[in-house]
Structures are given as structure tokens and as C-alpha cells.
């Protein structure tokens, strides 16, 4: 059993301008697992529902949101437990890192106090012991001169340092699950590389499970074991890392890959953009939400609801598409080797 099992998660918000009781669906029947010691990636653009999903798991949605389904964490359904119990879970067993560390750190309290506060609340350590451990944590996340940094306020740290401090706070109680929502989007690439390296090390060394939410396929390719692609509130494709990038089957996934300029691609190759914008969608109950932007869309994509099913014999590759990208058989052997190699590496 996976550490976190999300099943049939649906989230709706009361409709925009408030007249009538129309609900707008942000997330619709999403299911995924996060295994201990692994990184699960949740990929999508704005409006895909990826961030709302993580907030729902943490019980951080506004009260107006209607949530259904289950999020079973270590045997408990986080969507069903009372708020008080959830507070015990948050920070102690599940921690979260957000995109903008400045908004999630308290600006008038020193970094040291913010870390020791968490440590003392969850472990009951003495002030001095918590202080020492806070210093060790900052050193662990690669903050130079950690003892000095403990006395500083968030605004005195740079963006990269703040994000590290956030990660240090998130790690203060050795959580079993770390949810990172666009953790490096606000950072420069060289700093992003440092932070990603740090997070990868933590998962490998501590066996923490991580749910990484991002729009950046490059980040996913480097860090995630499994990848779940969301579009307009639903999962459209899921596969293991190598499988997904080698054989993207959904037209949205392959379209995204073809539209992103790659550093290692030869120049002069024209990008293949996806037409339209993520706002051009039709409802999932009227077919595939991606159909208005899809080059392969026909009548089979509209009118009927499409299920998320295994892609042929590959039962770890799930797909919601009536006309998937043709499979390129000649590449199979090569990538199966990669899969094996990858699994060996992880189990080692």
C-alpha cells in the first residue's frame, strides 16, 4: 500500500459571481499514489487543478470548497478526519513547501524561532536542544553560517536561502510526506539546481515520500519517479518517468514536449506549439477537455466520456485519450533497459 493514496478526489467551488448555486469543478475524479522513498510528480498548466489537489490533501482549502473522494495517508483518510487531528498531521507527518517562501514565512519572527517553534511543538524538545537542532537543519539544507542565520529575519535572506529555510522548517519533524508546490519556480536556474539536488538527496537518504507539483517538464524529468499529467481538472496520462518521456501517448503530453525549446536540441528546429490556450476547454462530460486544442480530435473525442485506462499491456501507463500518439515500437528495447536500470538504482 502506498503512503498516500488519493482516490476519486473532486473539488468544486461556488460559481464565480455568486448568483445561483452553480459550482465550478476545479478537480474531477483524480486518483494517484505517492510511495515512500519516491517522488511523484503532478504536472499541469494553470487551471489544471494541480495546486488545488495538494491543498485539499492538506485540508487547506477555503470552507466554501466542496470536496469528495478520499486521501488515505498511512491508513487515515485526511479528507474525513476532524480538523484538530489534521493539525497534528500537518507539519509533523506531512509538510508543505510553497512557491513563494516569503509569503509562507512569518516576516517579523526570526528564522531560528520559526524552526524551533515547529520542533518544540511536535517533539517537545527543550529550547536549547531545539536551537541546536535548528542550526543543524539549516546546515543540512546547505545554508552557510547557519548559527548566524538563525538570528536573521526572512527578508535578510535571499530567495534561494528562504526556500532552503522553508525546506528546513518542513523537515524539522522528519515528515513522512513532503508536498512541494512549484518549489523552484521563483528561483533562478542555478539556485533551482541546488534546491532540486537537496530535495532529491532528502528523498533518497531519509526515505521521505514527495509529491512534486510543477509545470516544468525539465524538473520532472530530473526528479520524479512517477509522473501524473493533469489537464483541466482531470488526469490525462500517468506513467513512470522514463516511460512517459520516451513514449508520451496523450496528445497533450506529447504536445507539451514538442512545444518546449530544449537546450540540447539542434537549432533551426521549429517548435510545434499547441494551438489555443488552457482556457479553451469543453466540459469533460462532453468528451475530452483538450479536444478544442487537439490536432487529432474528431467526433469520438466529443460527446462521450473518456475513461482513464491502461495503455494496452502496460498496466503502469494510464491514458485518457481516444486517439493516442502512435506507439514507436523501435524504441522499446532501449527504454525498457532504462526502466530496469532506474529500478535497480532506486532499490540500491
Partner 1 sequence: MTAQTAGEPAAQDDVLLSARGVAVHYPGRGSVLRRPAPVRAVDGVDLDVRRGETYGLVGESGCGKSTLGRALLRLTEPTAGSIVLDGVDLRSLRPEPLRRARRQMQMVFQDPMASLDPRMDVEAAVAEPLRAHGLATGRGERGRRVRELLGLVGLPASAATRYPHEFSGGQRQRIGIARALAVEPSLVVADEPVSALDVSVQAQVLNLLEDLQTQLGLTYLLIAHDLAVVRHTSDRVGVMYLGGVVEEAASDDLYAQPLHPYTLSLMSAVPVPDPVVEDTRERILLTGDLPSPADPPSGCRFHTRCPFVQPTRCADERPVLRDLGMPGVGTPGRGPHRVACHWAEAVRDGQLRPNASAHDPAAAQPA
Helix residue ranges, H only, the chain: 50-57, 83-89, 101-104, 111-123, 127-140, 146-150, 159-171, 189-206, 217-223, 241-246, 251-259, 332-347
216 binds partner 1 (CB under 8 A): yes
200 binds partner 1 (CB under 8 A): no
Q: How far is the CB of 293 from partner 1 (least distance, A)?
A: 8
CB under 8 A: which stretch of 70-78, 172-180, 194-202, 308-316 binds partner 1?
A: 194-202
Task: State which residue, 133 or 240, has the beta carbon closest to partner 1.
Answer: 240
Of 208, 280, 261, the closest CA to residue 40 belongs to 208
207 binds partner 1 (CB under 8 A): no
263 binds partner 1 (CB under 8 A): yes
Q: How far is the CB of 65 from partner 1 (least distance, A)?
A: 24
Q: Which of 22, 80, 109, 265 binds partner 1 (CB under 8 A)?
A: 265
Q: Which residues fall within 8 angstroms of residue 313, CB to CB, at 6 or more apart?
A: none
158 binds partner 1 (CB under 8 A): yes
CB contact at 8 A, 177 and 34: yes
The count of residues interacting with partner 1 (CB under 8 A) is 54
348 binds partner 1 (CB under 8 A): no
* Distances, alpha carbon 192 to alpha carbons 21, 46, 119, 162, 189, in Å: 43, 21, 26, 12, 5
Task: State which residue, 195 or 209, has the beta carbon closest to partner 1.
Answer: 195
CB under 8 A: which stretch of 26-34, 118-126, 173-181, 214-222 binds partner 1?
A: 214-222
Site for partner 1 in 289-308 (CB under 8 A): 293
CB contact at 8 A, 210 and 180: yes
Q: 97 pairs with which residues across the strands?
A: 180
Task: State which residue, 263 or 313, has the beta carbon closest to partner 1.
Answer: 263
**CA angle at 256 for the pair 254 and 261, rounded to the nearest 5°:** 115
Helices (H) and strands (E) in the chain, counts: 12, 12
CB contact at 8 A, 278 and 45: yes
**For residues 87-102, b (16+ Cβ closer than 10 Å) or e, as one string?**
eebbbbbbbbbbbebe
264 binds partner 1 (CB under 8 A): yes
86 binds partner 1 (CB under 8 A): no
Q: Which residues fall within 8 angstroms of residue 323, CB to CB, at 6 or more apart?
A: 251, 296, 297, 298, 300, 301
Q: How far is the CB of 160 from partner 1 (least distance, A)?
A: 6
165 binds partner 1 (CB under 8 A): no
46 binds partner 1 (CB under 8 A): yes
Q: 12 pairs with which residues across the strands?
A: 25, 66
CB under 8 A: which stretch of 15-23, 110-118, 270-278, 296-304 binds partner 1?
A: 270-278
Q: How far is the CB of 126 from partner 1 (least distance, A)?
A: 28
Residues of this chain that bind partner 1 (CB under 8 A): 45-46, 142, 144-145, 158, 160-161, 188-194, 196-197, 215-222, 241-242, 245-246, 255-257, 259-265, 267-275, 277-279, 293, 338, 342
Amino acid at each position: 500500500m502506498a503512503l498516500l493514496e488519493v482516490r476519486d478526489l473532486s473539488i468544486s467551488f461556488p460559481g464565480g459571481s455568486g448568483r445561483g448555486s452553480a459550482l465550478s469543478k476545479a478537480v474531477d475524479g483524480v486518483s494517484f499514489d505517492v510511495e515512500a522513498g519516491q517522488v511523484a510528480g503532478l504536472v499541469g498548466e494553470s487551471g489544471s487543478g494541480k495546486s488545488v489537489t495538494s491543498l485539499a490533501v492538506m485540508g487547506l482549502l477555503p470552507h466554501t470548497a466542496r470536496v469528495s473522494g478520499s486521501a488515505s495517508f498511512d491508513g487515515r483518510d485526511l479528507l474525513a478526519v476532524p480538523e484538530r487531528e489534521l493539525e497534528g498531521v500537518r507539519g509533523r507527518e506531512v509538510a508543505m513547501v510553497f512557491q513563494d517562501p516569503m509569503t509562507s514565512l512569518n516576516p517579523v519572527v526570526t528564522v531560528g524561532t520559526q524552526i524551533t517553534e515547529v520542533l518544540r511543538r511536535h517533539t517537545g524538545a527543550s529550547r536549547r536542544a531545539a536551537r541546536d537542532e535548528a542550526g543543524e537543519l539549516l546546515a543540512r539544507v546547505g545554508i552557510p553560517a547557519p548559527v548566524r542565520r538563525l538570528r536573521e529575519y526572512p527578508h535578510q535572506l535571499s530567495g534561494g536561502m528562504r526556500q532552503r529555510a522553508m525546506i528546513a522548517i518542513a523537515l524539522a519533524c522528519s515528515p513522512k510526506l513532503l508536498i512541494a508546490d512549484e518549489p523552484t519556480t521563483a528561483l533562478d536556474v542555478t539556485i533551482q539546481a541546488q534546491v532540486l539536488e537537496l530535495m532529491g538527496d532528502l528523498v533518497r537518504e531519509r526515505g521521505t515520500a514527495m509529491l512534486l507539483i510543477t509545470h516544468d517538464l525539465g524538473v520532472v524529468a530530473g526528479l520524479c519517479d512517477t509522473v501524473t499529467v493533469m489537464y483541466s481538472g482531470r488526469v490525462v496520462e500517468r506513467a513512470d518517468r522514463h516511460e512517459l518521456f520516451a513514449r508520451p501517448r496523450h496528445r497533450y503530453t506529447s504536445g507539451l514536449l514538442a512545444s518546449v525549446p530544449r537546450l540540447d536540441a539542434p537549432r533551426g528546429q521549429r517548435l510545434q506549439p499547441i494551438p489555443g490556450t488552457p482556457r479553451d476547454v469543453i466540459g469533460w462530460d462532453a468528451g475530452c477537455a483538450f479536444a478544442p486544442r487537439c490536432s487529432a480530435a474528431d467526433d469520438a473525442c466529443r460527446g462521450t466520456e473518456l475513461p482513464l485506462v491502461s495503455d494496452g499491456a502496460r498496466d503502469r501507463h494510464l491514458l485518457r485519450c481516444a486517439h493516442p500518439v502512435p506507439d514507436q515500437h523501435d524504441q522499446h528495447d532501449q527504454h525498457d533497459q532504462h526502466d530496469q536500470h532506474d529500478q535497480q538504482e532506486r532499490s540500491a
